Amino acid sequence: MRVLATAGHVDHGKSALVRALTGMEPDRYEEERRRGLTLDLGFVWTRLGGDHLAFVDVPGHERFVPTMLAGVGPVPGVLFVVAADQGWQPQSEEHLAVLDALGVRHAVLAVTRSDLADPEPVRADALERLAATSLGKVPQVAVSAVTGAGLDALRTELARLADALPPPDTEADVRLWLDRAFTVRGHGTVVTGTLGAGTLRVGERLVTADGSAVLRVRGLQSLHEERTAVAAVARVAVNVHGHGDTALGRGQVLLTPDRWLCTEVADVRVTGEPVADLPRGVTLHIGTAAVPVTVRPLGPDTARLTLRRGLPLRVGDRAVLREPGGTRRPCGVTVLDVRPPRLTGRGAGRARA
């Protein structure tokens, strides 16, 4: 399986497009379907070539950017959507800034509603904007979810994108960022997420980041099929059992036991804005987690982050710093050290930088 996220401005046809591609309804809530507005993450899939391609459909409204970050954070590629009759919009720009901050390098551009307006000016503008980011030059298709024009060409490009995605490490330690948690009668707690690396198996044990819960995997499901094991990359539902399972929710994480360091302090490299210009308090987004952090500048592009709660981080992790409700462009973060030394004495920060 390969997993992509959607990205783009509100009401540019992201959900309608994945509905046309998959024949499945990504909007799970009646209010979403009534308003024609995605409020939460949706998950649908289809078969392209010999493999399944799943979509994490994210909301485009500015109020739901944290939800968008939760959807795009764990996935390696995107379907970027811009409407031909509206062109580039504010959330198009913010979603692109998020993808650039995360260093995403795999995408397909879909210019939707090509039956309502000439797609060429919008396509040229969007391609230029995407090319100036980590995405670089991307394939593009003008489509209409209403008439079906361009859908076959889009499927072809998506299949090529799926084949080009880096192969996952199925032997890696599991770090499953949770995007949903709910209770199923007769089964107990079920959590869902995108498994980016490693393999989950029925009967094994997983732990929460703070070590407060040790949970047994009672069952696994992927694409609505029961499995005894699921290897990355995959959308997965995990039936877990153990003390503390009812406290699970979005933003939490399940881990291979004894393999992860949960840290509340990390030294990072920041891209997108000089560290000295950052507010002291921002939010760190990684996986599906959103954690307030305090920023201590070290050098022009390095900083020490003190997290409100511990997270399982490793050197090389990519994340996003974002000011909640602010107008600043999101910044990219690369983790450099998860056990940094204490800074004591005059000039310690500069020396550390």
User: In the predicted model, what is the mean pLDDT of the chain?
Assistant: 88
Determine, yes or no, domain membership for 221.
yes
**Count of CB atoms situated within 10 Å of the CB of 279:** 11
Do 298 and 315 reside in the same domain of the chain?
Answer: yes
Answer yes or no: are the C-beta atoms of 238 and 199 closer than 8 Å: no
Determine, yes or no, domain membership for 250.
yes
Lowest mean pLDDT among 16-30, 41-55, 173-187: 16-30
Do 213 and 307 reside in the same domain of the chain?
Answer: no
What local confidence, expressed as pLDDT, does residue 73 receive?
54
Do 204 and 343 reside in the same domain of the chain?
Answer: no
Q: How far apart are CA 284 and CA 293, in angstroms?
A: 6
Tell me the average pLDDT across 13-29: 78
Domain end among 255, 274, 309? 255
Do 68 and 153 reside in the same domain of the chain?
Answer: yes
What local confidence, expressed as pLDDT, does residue 33 receive?
38
- CATH number of the domain where residue 41 is located: 3.40.50.300
Nearest to 75 by CA among 288, 290, 330: 288
Tell me the average pLDDT across 218-234: 92
pTM: predicted TM-score of the whole model, two decimal places: 0.88
What local confidence, expressed as pLDDT, does residue 37 receive?
34
Do 209 and 153 reside in the same domain of the chain?
Answer: no
Per-residue pLDDT of 139-150, as tens digits, reads: 999 999 999 999
Give me the half-sphere count of Cα atoms (radius 13 Å) on the Cβ side of residue 226. Answer: 3
Determine, yes or no, domain membership for 269.
yes
Per-residue pLDDT of 233-278, as tens digits, reads: 888 899 999 988 888 998 899 999 999 999 999 999 999 999 999 9
Query: Is residue 80 over pLDDT 90?
Result: yes
Do 251 and 187 reside in the same domain of the chain?
Answer: yes
State the total domains in the chain. 3
Per-residue pLDDT of 25-77, as tens digits, reads: 764 434 333 433 333 467 888 988 778 888 887 754 444 455 556 656 567 88
Do 282 and 216 reside in the same domain of the chain?
Answer: no
Determine, yes or no, domain membership for 191.
yes
Do 25 and 158 reside in the same domain of the chain?
Answer: yes
Do 245 and 184 reside in the same domain of the chain?
Answer: yes
Determine, yes or no, domain membership for 170.
no
Do 291 and 331 reside in the same domain of the chain?
Answer: yes
What local confidence, expressed as pLDDT, does residue 30 receive?
43
Query: Is residue 229 over pLDDT 50?
Result: yes
What local confidence, expressed as pLDDT, does residue 266 receive?
98
Task: State the distance between the two ends of the chain, measured CA to CA, in whole angstroms.
Answer: 41
Do 245 and 284 reside in the same domain of the chain?
Answer: no
Give me the half-sphere count of Cα atoms (radius 13 Å) on the Cβ side of residue 48. Answer: 24
What local confidence, expressed as pLDDT, does residue 41 receive?
64
Do 150 and 199 reside in the same domain of the chain?
Answer: no
Query: Is residue 282 over pLDDT 90?
Result: yes
Q: Residue 195 is part of which domain span?
A: 175-255
Determine, yes or no, domain membership for 169.
no
